[in-house]
Structure 1
Amino acid sequence: MDYAQLSHDLAALCRTTAGFIRQEAATFDRAKIEHKGLHDLVSYVDQETERRLVAGLRQLLPEAGFITEEGTAGPDSHTEGFTWIIDPLDGTTNFVHGLPVYSISVALTQHKELVVGVVHEVNHDESFRAVRGGGAFCNDQPIHVTDVPKLNGALIATGFPYKDFGQMPDYLQILGTFMSSCQGLRRMGSAAVDLAYVAAGRFEGYFEFNLNSYDVAAGILLVREAGGHVTQFLTDGDPLFGREVLASNGLLHNEMQAAIGKFWR
């Protein structure tokens, strides 16, 4: 398998599909949104984007299974061979409200290991691409995490709970710790974008919980291939299906884990 060529083909598919999202954003009607759960929105744009991605991916790799957010490829099937993991519109709430931070996220696993990932930030038309062992790129230019060694020189990203509030008190204390110990805390509204920005050196770190594999799969590979480190909050456990992600430039990973560990249960 030529993963490098596959990553280029995947990036081209995502760029074309991002054009459809931009076109729909210009005339989107909020009355067309649906609710999958508390504060969990979906629109026909999510669904149609996913259908277009699935159709294109089936041409690229017919034997692969799928894990998709909207279920348009049928039941999830994380195979021992190849599996595509797709979030067609990461940042749907931003999209619905006209806030221009949302992305397409697609990753490929082989034997359940991440091998290819693309995050396409729709509004800036930035294509973040990574291949296992082959580095990370933004619009085909190499990217790398920063060399900031301490939190007091770092810009950190996070996400806020929006439907699972059981650990809200702990999370608020963690947010307070980071607010007082780093240069700034940002909430973009797209986990895939947050991870891509860590890989590109725009953030030094990122943490969030209650996530799904399709939110983070491509971004995890991007950060790792850009020289960073990605784990669960307090352990080196696999973050892909672990529901929580801590990503950093590697140099301040232990400091971030220590800050989270004061309050996280």
Structure 2
Amino acid sequence: MQGSANINLMIKAARKAGRSLVKDFREVENLQVSMKGAGDFVSRADIAAEKIIRDELMSARPNYGWLGEESKPEEGADPTRRWIVDPLDGTTNFLHGLPHWAVSIALEHKGEIVAGVIFDAAKDELYWAEKGAGAWMNESRLRVSGRHRMIESIFATGLPFGGRGELPSVMRDLGRLLPVCAGVRRWGAAALDMAYVAAGRLDGYWERGINAWDMAAGVVIVREAGGFVQAIAKDGNMLEDGEVICANERIFETFSDTIRNG
């Protein structure tokens, strides 16, 4: 499918960064058994991928603002537009040699995400969407699942690690959700969780304590695939609050009530 100049630019940048990360990913298994380990190497790979994306996007759109995981935010000469970028979502998976990670690029216009690209380079799956133009994975149109019974549905979330403070809330969420659904998955890459909701592989996803760049591209992709996306707090702002819930339209109300009414 042919997209706008901006989405084509985003796809080009994501693919270029993805190729660089795939080369680095092949080295991780060898580094895992070294005394030093792979941590420093993966950090360099992450930063290098962001530089590739930044160079591609900002050279073509120098007036846009920038919000990236590995660099300082910048307000552009055009204050209504900014790129929101996670060069390597699923860093811990990458570090451990697990082929489940992605490049995520979003374009925000006047506070709304209007285009998004999520590139799973290890599997060569490119998810993308523009407002009003539908959502796609490679050349296939995406549509959220049609399941309408919670007991037949599977969901994804993130689990807090390293002493992060969201654990009590997540445990309460799981206590309410697990008895009424077909299962919960923890894949370790928020962008791909949202892409999988758009593709109908998952029926819903929620997470607390994440960053704008983790979810931004997924917001427009899920919406353009026919799903609902909101902040967990009904009057909240997803990107500012760092929390999101999404699902197909048939189960969103029941699912969101289950998570919110804790």
TM-score computed with the length of structure 2 as normaliser:
0.90
Contact 2:210/2:243 (CA < 8 Å) preserved in 1?
yes
Equivalents in 2 of 1:151, 1:164: separation in Å? 31
1:59 is aligned to 59
Name the structure 2 match of 1:38.
Answer: none
Which segment drifts farther, 200-209 or 237-246? 237-246
Gaps of 5+ in 2: none
Q: CA, structure 1 residues 6+109, in 2 after alignment: closer, same or farther (shift >3 Å)?
A: same
- Of 73, 76, 85, 1:75 maps to 73
Q: Shift of residue 17 of structure 1?
A: 1.6
C-alpha distance 246-175 of structure 1, shift in aligned 2 (>3 A): same
Q: C-alpha displacement at 1:236, in angstroms?
A: 4.9
Q: Which residue of 2 aligns with 1:160?
A: 159
What stretches of structure 1 move > 6 A for 4+ residues in a row? none
SS of structure 1 residue aligned to 2:238: coil
Aligned residues: 254
Q: 1:212: how far off?
A: 0.6
Question: Structure 1 residue 11 and structure 2 residue 11: aligned?
Answer: yes
Determine if contact 1:84/1:107 at 8 Å carries over to the other structure. Answer: yes
- Corresponding position of 2:110: 111
Distance 2:260 2:14 in 1: 37
Letter in 1 for 2:161: Y
1:173 matched to 2:199? The reply is no
In structure 1, the partner of 2:234 is 235
Structure 1 position 3, deviation (Å): 6.4
Counterpart code for 2:261: K
**TM-score, normalised relative to structure 1:** 0.89
Kept in 2, the 8 Å contact 1:80–1:112? The answer is no
Q: Percent identity?
A: 34
Q: Tell me if the contact between 1:234 and 1:257 (Cα under 8 Å) persists in the aligned partners.
A: no
Q: Which residue of 2 aligns with 1:192?
A: 191
1:113–1:3 Cα change, 3 Å? farther
Pairing 1:33–2:42 present: no
Distance 1:77 1:210 in 2: 24
Deviation at 1:32, TM superposition (A): 4.7
Task: Judging by fraction of residues, say which structure has more helix.
Answer: 2
Residues 111 and 128 of structure 1, relative CA distance in 2, 3 Å threshold:
same
Return 139-148 or 82-91, whichever deviates more. 139-148
Q: Distance in 2 between matches of 1:42 and 1:238?
A: 31
Aligned-pair CA distance for 1:166: 2.9
